[in-house]
Chains A and B, each alone.
Chain A
Amino acid sequence: MNAFFERSSDTIAAIATSLGRGGIAIVRVSGDLAGEIAGRVFLPFKPGKTGLRHRVMIYGHALGPDGSTIDEVMAVFFCAPNSYTAQDVLEIHCHGGSEMARQVLSSCMAAGARLAEPGEFTKRAFLNGRIDLSQAEAVMRLISAKSEKAARLSQKQLDGALSREIASLQNDLLDIMAGIEAAADYPEEDIENQAASQTFDRISSLCGALGSLLKSADYAKKLQDGIRICIAGKPNAGKSSLMNALLGENRAIVTDIAGTTRDILTEPLNINGIPATICDTAGLRASSETGSDVIERIGIERARAEIESADIVLLVWDMGEPFSDEDRRILALDKPKILVKNKSDIYPAEGVQSFPEEVASVTISALTLEGIDELKRMIASLFEESDSLGEASLTEERHVESVKNAGKALALALEALESGLPVDVCAIDLRDAWHHLGLITGKTADDELISRIFESFCLGK
């Protein structure tokens, strides 16, 4: 069933600007509830001002569901039909960076909006006669392209541990359902009839798993600072110098002494328009070399964790030094990375050592800033290629919504069982839950249930 049409009269909300870029993020709300939502999510600054007027931008606070202030924002209201969608539209302009906008969006959803489908604002605009066919066709291509991109992104996320867990929960759920369905469709077979209490326990444990999934999945964190770039390498390779060179200021302490940087140093940075966080890490060397310096060892452990979680790794290599095992290990990581060959001021001739050819590399001097612009350009293009955060966040928001909905459906099933309703009736809720999880894993076909029944049970005349 296509959710799109079930609820075309709903009030929808989404972040209208692309995430992770630009100084302003706009949360757009369209539908009958837009006015009501404005009243709950936006508080004008000027005392005495009660609300929003058509096409007038007002300064104020965006409020969370509990009334707490999220951000200082500008808000504007468009009364139907004089808006993009020809419905009541609320726009809240937040500070750029994804976290604020996401909080405002969540608050709008708490106030009654649901997350918009890709292209849904435009679809409404079109259906309400605001744009013509050629515009609509252009938008349709976009919807189509976007959804393919979203599908690709989902697929990417499916490789992650979180998605594996969701798939495994969906699998468990399917087992419970298959048991109930097999017993309903084959009452005379000697299937172990799952006792209602056992079904109850299995569902409530699934319910708990979904709950902790929601808590642990702190999607916002990954996004709030944009793309995370980690500078790694051996001690004294010039990591801190590179950080300062990229920041354009002396933020990291630079000395000739190996092991000066002991903790992670993190700074926001804008690389060719892309918001990023750059972090300098302790130089990686074997514990035999660090001697008894506990602090440095802890620093190295943290550095390794940081390298794992970073979106892009810059491996700094002092061209005068041999490649270490750590260097090779980092180059072997399955994530975007750039080999930064440093100290071109000392070693002008390239290729002192051989290195894996497939790794993107650039020769720089952190001291003279030679090659820094080229490095920035490479980081930017890696970001573009990596389909990174900007759009993924939307899908993730959707995933959170799906997990929540699945949890709600399971709670209904438990409630039904508790009130003594037969287990095949609560199968309706389980099916709902399964479909919600399927929106993440892409498995929503009913055929899967039928297949599972026949895989798990020996049935038939």
Chain B
Amino acid sequence: MQTKTDIDLNSTNSYEAVVVGAGHAGCEAGLALARLGIKTLVMTLSIDGVAMLACNPSIGGTAKGHLVREIDALGGEMGLAIDDTFLQSRMLNTGKGPAVHSLRTQADKKQYQYRMLRALQHQDNLTLIQGEIADIDIKNGKVQGVKTATGAYYSCRVCIIASGVYLKSRVIIGEYTSYEGPSGLMNANPLSDCLKSLGFELRRFKTGTPARIDIRSVDLSKLEPQSGDSRIVPFSFMNDVLEKEQVCCYLGYTNQRTHDIIRDNLHRAPMFTGIIEGVGPRYCPSIEDKIVRFADKDRHQFFLEPESLFTTEWYVQGMSTSLPEEVQMELYRTLPGLENVNIVRLAYAIEYDCINPTMVKTSLESKDIPGLFFAGQINGSSGYEEAAAQGLIAGINAAMLLKERDPLLLGRADAYIGVLIDDLTTKGTGEPYRMMTSRAEYRLSLRQDNADLRLTEMGRKVGLVSDERYTRLIKKKTELESALAAIDEKHYGPALINPHLESIKEPPVKSGVSARDVLKRPNASYEWLFGIDPSLPDIGPQAQEQVEIAVRYEGYLRRQAAQTQALRRMEDLRLSENVDYDEIGALRIEARQKLSQIRPQTLGQASRISGVSPADITVLMVWLEKKNAFQR
């Protein structure tokens, strides 16, 4: 190996950054690095697997849609790619508050992959190569390069591990098991051992996917069609309107026969036979799991979703299973409309290695090995959007490290991405981690509609936000500010406003009201008010939405703003990595151990570690103040 290394050590094998993997994390990481001017190599096991949507054919959804918006606002690729390739788009939760409005699209898997592949292969500074990274070369505690399984050596100064579910992955279908990656792709074994030898604590997680079926064998008339929104909201803030002929999805329900078959075959289910060792996610249970855990439910819903316009394969959402092949056949054929269904790809469970994410910093750089970053499922997360978000942050911060600039650290009050990374790196995770709106305590402030207002400025500072994107932000901000100022100034007498209020079924007023007060009415909109008073600023729909939310949820937004400010104060108190917590006698022993283990970067992060009490934080603060150990 050494001799080959010596021969190959020429300029073509020399990069500044290497990204291991070209899934959703790897793609964002590679693009971010290259766009920030870093000479980047992205290495993937298979170029056919670039940006593969290995599980469901959809991007977005509750909380995940927020992540896509945030990736877009920072200058990432996912939002643009899905806007180009979606098959159906829906805004979920429109009957609820703006915090939980979530955009969800059905993706054309094939188109999405090629769209992303084009972005990578046409990107300056970026080289995409097929191959398996088997070893990371660390000397003097620093990243020197990577070695491939076939013997090539690529030098680099930073390396991002975005290996997805491929490390020592094992596919399980009933009694059958096979060490391979998803969808028949190869897996990666040596890298797992390499990480272990570098001191990373590995754990085994599990996830699963349902069967893909041939839509030609389905009687769709027995299912309930689900169509997309008539007005499509784009994911990317760069797009105003999208027009597209959308495809339908279909909804159906399991029945007693489905459940009987599962119960009769439970003894063959890997989750009960003990074949599966990994920890699976609670939020993504297999159908057998649902039937065992919620035995009193007499039916469960399932959705049929198209995988691509180029194929006849459809995804059966809700029917993930790892039961044996013949049971799957029987099982799927109990579903209405699927009586004669042909399975194209079997459902399976997959186990894989990932690291304990408390071993990485909030910048996603290893706490122990400078220059080594981790993003995506390797950190114990699950989901394309969660992976892409981490990939983007790891890519940005690897670039910042090379440029000797401060890392981009998003906090819980800044973005869902901040919540995601803080949860993973501070608390760790006992199961594959999925983003949920319930995890974001400041979710009324962290809406999908204001991701650009929250983050684009930061993306600009980093260098990922184009002039065009930045100009759009400034325009939206200016419009918003002018409208917010105007609605306080404009007042209307009862004679003028009451007929209009009546027309939208709002009670009349007795005396004059400001435009702001009028907009507080649930049925009022800026567009409607602008129709009455054209002297109001003429602003775009995105700014209109911001004005309406700002007015309607004013009290709550103000409270959240106060809370987030308090949080930020805690996050501003930075802790040195070299604090010797054993030296602080007044800390409880459990707190000392936890703090030494996690090595929090801020006092805020320390306060969220389980086992560290408020009294410990007080002790810590007093001690640190005196030692002047804060790095302000």
Q: Is the CB of B96 within 8 A of A422?
A: yes
Closest Cβ of chain B: how far from A122's Cβ, in Å?
A: 9
Q: Does A400 contact B (CB under 8 A)?
A: no
Interface centre among A117, A139, A425 (most CB of B within 10 A): A425
Q: Pick the residue among A127, A421, A445, A461 that contacts B610 (CB under 8 A).
A: A445
Known contacts A148-B588, A425-B444, A425-B556, A461 near B56 by CB under 8 Å = yes
Closest Cβ of chain A: how far from B587's Cβ, in Å?
A: 7
Q: Pick the residue among A117, A118, A148, A187 that contacts B93 (CB under 8 A).
A: A187
Q: Pick the residue among A5, A119, A133, A420 that contacts B626 (CB under 8 A).
A: A133
A24 contacts which chain B residues (CB < 8 A)?
A: none
Q: Does A144 contact B (CB under 8 A)?
A: yes
Q: Which residue of B lies closest to A142 (CB)?
A: B586
B486-525, CB under 8 A of A: which get 1 and which 0?
Answer: 0000000000000000000000000000000000001000
Complex Cα–Cα for A184 and B585 (A): 45
Q: Does A6 contact B (CB under 8 A)?
A: yes
Q: Is the CB of B444 within 8 A of A144?
A: no
Closest Cβ of chain A: how far from B529's Cβ, in Å?
A: 18
Q: Which residue of A lies closest to B615 (CB)?
A: A147
Known contacts A189-B301, A431-B441, A446-B439, A147 near B559 by CB under 8 Å = no
Complex Cα–Cα for A190 and B617 (A): 43
A417-438, CB under 8 A of B: which get 1 and which 0?
Answer: 0001111110010010000000
Q: Which residue of B lies closest to A458 (CB)?
A: B294
Complex Cα–Cα for A36 and B489 (A): 37
Complex Cα–Cα for A118 and B619 (A): 11
Q: Is the CB of B283 within 8 A of A184?
A: no
Complex Cα–Cα for A275 and B301 (A): 67
Complex Cα–Cα for A141 and B588 (A): 10
Complex Cα–Cα for A189 and B62 (A): 12
Q: Is the CB of B62 within 8 A of A184?
A: yes
A115-128, CB under 8 A of B: which get 1 and which 0?
Answer: 00111000100110
A118 contacts which chain B residues (CB < 8 A)?
A: 615
Complex Cα–Cα for A126 and B586 (A): 16
Complex Cα–Cα for A449 and B441 (A): 12
Q: Does B119 contact A (CB under 8 A)?
A: no
Q: Does B238 contact A (CB under 8 A)?
A: no
Q: Is the CB of A127 within 8 A of B556?
A: no
Known contacts A184-B438, A185-B437, A461-B56, A4 near B617 by CB under 8 Å = yes
A117 contacts which chain B residues (CB < 8 A)?
A: 614, 618
Q: Which residue of A lies closest to B627 (CB)?
A: A133
Complex Cα–Cα for A141 and B570 (A): 23
Q: Does B621 contact A (CB under 8 A)?
A: yes
Known contacts A6-B566, A184-B96, A445-B610, A126 near B622 by CB under 8 Å = yes
B100 contacts which chain A residues (CB < 8 A)?
A: 184-185, 424
Complex Cα–Cα for A190 and B318 (A): 12
A422 contacts which chain B residues (CB < 8 A)?
A: 95-97
Q: Is the CB of A187 within 8 A of B614?
A: no
Q: Does A288 contact B (CB under 8 A)?
A: no
Q: Is the CB of B613 within 8 A of A450?
A: no
Q: Which residue of B lies closest to A447 (CB)?
A: B427
Q: Is the CB of A5 within 8 A of B586?
A: no
Q: Is the CB of B618 within 8 A of A450?
A: no
Closest Cβ of chain A: how far from B271's Cβ, in Å?
A: 14
Known contacts A144-B588, A189-B301, A420 near B522 by CB under 8 Å = yes
Interface size on B, residues (CB 8 A): 64
* Cβ < 8 Å to B, chain A residues 105-151: 117-119, 123, 126-127, 133, 136-137, 139-141, 143-144, 147-148, 151
Complex Cα–Cα for A454 and B566 (A): 31
Interface size class of A (residues with CB under 8 A): 35 or more
Interface centre among A4, A450, A461 (most CB of B within 10 A): A461
* Cβ < 8 Å to A, chain B residues 270-291: 281-285, 290
B570 contacts which chain A residues (CB < 8 A)?
A: 1-2, 5
Q: Does B176 contact A (CB under 8 A)?
A: no
Q: Is the CB of A5 within 8 A of B621?
A: yes
Q: Is the CB of A423 within 8 A of B585?
A: no
Q: Which residue of B lies closest to A181 (CB)?
A: B438
Interface centre among A118, A123, A143, A184 (most CB of B within 10 A): A184
Q: Is the CB of B586 within 8 A of A143?
A: yes
B552 contacts which chain A residues (CB < 8 A)?
A: 421
Q: Is the CB of A453 within 8 A of B438?
A: yes
Complex Cα–Cα for A123 and B603 (A): 17
Known contacts A144-B619, A458-B294, A424 near B97 by CB under 8 Å = yes
Closest Cβ of chain A: how far from B111's Cβ, in Å?
A: 22
Q: Pick the residue among B437, B553, B585, B603 that contacts A421 (CB under 8 A).
A: B553
B101-117, CB under 8 A of A: which get 1 and which 0?
Answer: 01000000000000000
Q: Does A47 contact B (CB under 8 A)?
A: no
Q: Does A460 contact B (CB under 8 A)?
A: yes
Q: Is the CB of B566 within 8 A of A459?
A: no
B97 contacts which chain A residues (CB < 8 A)?
A: 421-425
Q: Is the CB of A5 within 8 A of B566?
A: yes
B603 contacts which chain A residues (CB < 8 A)?
A: 5
Q: Is the CB of B444 within 8 A of A428?
A: yes
Q: Is the CB of B438 within 8 A of A5?
A: no
Known contacts A190-B301, A425-B553, A428-B444, A460 near B285 by CB under 8 Å = yes
Complex Cα–Cα for A431 and B320 (A): 33
Complex Cα–Cα for A459 and B300 (A): 10
Q: Is the CB of B96 within 8 A of A5?
A: no
Q: Does B458 contact A (CB under 8 A)?
A: no
Q: Does B607 contact A (CB under 8 A)?
A: yes
Q: Is the CB of B615 within 8 A of A449?
A: no
Q: Does B387 contact A (CB under 8 A)?
A: no
A137 contacts which chain B residues (CB < 8 A)?
A: 585-586
Q: Is the CB of A459 within 8 A of B283?
A: yes
Q: Which residue of B lies closest to A3 (CB)?
A: B614
A3 contacts which chain B residues (CB < 8 A)?
A: 614
B587 contacts which chain A residues (CB < 8 A)?
A: 144
Q: Is the CB of B559 within 8 A of A428?
A: yes
Q: Does A45 contact B (CB under 8 A)?
A: no
Q: Is the CB of B623 within 8 A of A140?
A: yes
Q: Does B293 contact A (CB under 8 A)?
A: yes
Q: Is the CB of A423 within 8 A of B96?
A: yes
Complex Cα–Cα for A431 and B610 (A): 19
Closest Cβ of chain B: how far from A35's Cβ, in Å?
A: 25
Closest 3 CB pairs of A and B: A147-B615, A422-B97, A140-B586
Chain A: residues with CB nearer than 8 A to chain B? 1-6, 117-119, 123, 126-127, 133, 136-137, 139-141, 143-144, 147-148, 151, 181, 183-190, 416, 420-425, 428, 431, 445-447, 449-450, 453-454, 458-461
| Between-chain CB contacts (< 8 Å), 16 pairs | A4-B621, A5-B617, A140-B618, A141-B585, A144-B615, A144-B616, A184-B62, A184-B437, A184-B438, A187-B93, A422-B95, A428-B556, A447-B427, A458-B285, A460-B290, A461-B320
